[in-house]
Amino acid sequence: MNEYDSNRIYDYVKKIDYKKTESLQDANCYILNTCHIREKATEKVYHDIGRLKKIFRNKNKPIVLIAGCVAQAEGEVLLKKEKYIDAVVGPQSYQKLNKTICELEKNKNKVNSTEFDVEEKFDKLNLIKNSNSNVSSYLTIQEGCDKFCKFCVVPYTRGSEFSRSISELVKETKDLVNNGSNEVTLLGQNVNAYNYNEKKLSNLIYEISQIKNLNRIRYSTSHPLDFSKDLIKSHGNIQKLMPLIHLPVQSGSDKILKNMNRKHTIKEYLDIIYELKKTNPLIKFSSDFIIGYPGETEKDFEKTLKLLKEVEYINSYSFIYSPRPGTPAAKMKAVESSISKKRLIVFQKFAEQIKMKYRKSLFNKFSNVLFENRIGNKDEFFGRDEYSNSVIVKSKENLKGKIQKVKIIDGNQNTLFGEVASKNRKVFAA
């Protein structure tokens, strides 16, 4: 979502004649868009500002704005602690960036803009065309979260759930397609909580799927509580909807899920998995896992490993629990660091084994790859298959923006290597 927000920020500041520069030294305005979910996010802001100070030690200081979730969470603290920062702008106040910058150009008064004006934000951003021209693009459809997981800062930095209208989203998608996008990924803090005038995510996906020259639709990130029957059916009915689902679970233990306030059990989670597989047997899954959450015992951890084995996630994103200031979990007694680190190593080793087994199963099989760009000046192209696996092929032909049949011939943990299949060869999904 941060990438989408950053692109939209640029679309917005262009209205006051600001342009991107690849050279930080040439900047007269510096906007750092932040994410509070990252570990030690606030510390990283101060580190980045320290780097900026060194660069501009003998130059005129640029206008410095901290945007996003860290700005929302820290607000006035950032302005007081680091005098180099001129303004903080929360994620629901991006529409005020231009006004803020213009004010700072006239005077040096600090600005704290961290109100929750999400409706106003999208009312204004909807008027500005999304200029992104990537083959694969992001599209924010929903923001905020009402789940209040005890470890998560999102409800406090992004606010309550808010969904954009279907008409606005269809229009923005058409703009992206006209700019060259062949694929869109629908984004939200809880994307399947999308609900606009009783129209749900499945309705939105259907409407977007009708757009000519849009070939692929993905969405991330979802929550098990909002995985409705109609959304499950969409994975059997809408061909443009890709068969990879990112469905965070965080733990394989019901006890830990309860302590997290996830409001679902492992059985309920697996029921969704099985229903999706029944609807479309080609569906694969990825997930997020928190290792060493407060109260996690060895038995709880073993249940997480059991879930990993049962679902066989093709990608698993795992992290040692680290407290976020202001969240209920931050007050809980942490698992000893050395124990958490050992569990993470075990988990990641097991997850990689499952991942590599899956990847090796793709060798000598064919898949459809959407190519996003050329690699440097080489006759090599990077793309992603239906399951978002990174694929590299050699080709004299310019493949950017094209979907090609590719035979997978080799691969490692991060990348698959293939060759473009001959014409008229049938493709069998992996």
Q: Please write the tens of the pLDDT for every residue from 336-395.
A: 999 999 999 999 999 999 999 999 999 999 999 999 999 988 899 999 999 999 999 999
Residue 268 pairs in a beta bridge with: none
Report d(CA 397, CA 380) in Å as an integer: 10
Domain boundary among the residues 115, 135, 169 is at 115
Specify whether 315 is located in the same domain as 396: no
Specify whether 88 is located in the same domain as 59: yes
* pLDDT score, position 424: 47
Cis ω before 304 (30° cut-off from 0): no
As given in the structure block, the two tokens for residue 60 are 């005129």
Specify whether 259 is located in the same domain as 336: yes
As given in the structure block, the two tokens for residue 123 are 């009312």
Main-chain phi, psi angles of 2, to 5 degrees: -60, -35
Instruction: Give the pLDDT band of residue 22 (cuts 50, 70, 90).
Output: confident
Report d(CA 411, CA 415) in Å as an integer: 6
For 89-102, what is the mean pLDDT?
89
At 87, which helix (H) or strand (E)?
strand 87-89
Instruction: Give the pLDDT band of residue 423 (cuts 50, 70, 90).
Output: low
Q: Contact at 8 Å (CB) between 60 and 73?
A: no
Q: Which residue has the tokens 């501009």?
A: 56
Specify whether 229 is located in the same domain as 133: yes
**Structural domain contains residue 288:** yes
Pairing status of strand 403-411 against strand 366-374: antiparallel
pTM recorded for the entire structure: 0.85
* pLDDT score, position 170: 97
At 410, which helix (H) or strand (E)?
strand 403-411
Distance of CA 191 to the CA centre of its chain: 11
Q: Contact at 8 Å (CB) between 93 and 114?
A: yes
Question: Of 19-23, 66-70, 116-120, 173-177, which has the strongest mean pLDDT?
Answer: 173-177
Specify whether 80 is located in the same domain as 209: no
Distance of CA 48 to the CA centre of its chain: 22
**Structural domain contains residue 158:** yes
* pLDDT score, position 426: 47
Q: Contact at 8 Å (CB) between 191 and 222?
A: yes
Q: To the nearest 10°, report the CA torsion of 36, 9, 172, 235.
A: -20
Q: How many domains does the chain have?
A: 3
Q: Strands across the sheet with 183-187, in order?
A: 136-140, 183-187, 216-220
Specify whether 349 is located in the same domain as 412: no
Specify whether 158 is located in the same domain as 295: yes
Greatest Cα pair distance in the chain: 65
Report d(CA 304, CA 277) in Å as an integer: 21
For 24-36, what is the mean pLDDT?
90
Report d(CA 264, CA 256) in Å as an integer: 11
**Structural domain contains residue 126:** yes
Is residue 54 packed enough to be buried (19+ CB in 10 Å), middle (13-18) or exposed (0-12)?
exposed
The DSSP symbol for 146 reads: S
Domain boundary among the residues 313, 333, 360 is at 360
For residue 381, the enclosing domain spans 366-420
The residues near 80 (Cβ < 8 Å, ≥ 6 apart) are none
* pLDDT score, position 164: 94
Mean pLDDT across the chain: 92
Is the per-residue pLDDT at 199 higher than 70? yes
Report d(CA 214, CA 238) in Å as an integer: 13
Question: Strands, E, within 4-151: which ranges?
Answer: 29-34, 63-68, 87-89, 111-113, 136-140, 142-143
Is the per-residue pLDDT at 48 higher than 60? yes
Specify whether 136 is located in the same domain as 275: yes
At 185, which helix (H) or strand (E)?
strand 183-187
Is the per-residue pLDDT at 1 higher than 70? no
Pairing status of strand 199-200 against strand 195-196: antiparallel
The DSSP symbol for 22 reads: S
Is the per-residue pLDDT at 415 higher than 90? yes
Question: Strands, E, within 334-384: which ranges?
Answer: 366-374, 380-384
Q: List Cα–Cα distances, 301 to 50, 258, 268, 296, in angstroms.
A: 39, 15, 19, 7
Specify whether 233 is located in the same domain as 298: yes
**Structural domain contains residue 429:** no
Report d(CA 394, CA 159) in Å as an integer: 46
**Structural domain contains residue 390:** yes
Specify whether 234 is located in the same domain as 314: yes
Specify whether 332 is located in the same domain as 384: no
Specify whether 109 is located in the same domain as 222: no
**Structural domain contains residue 427:** no
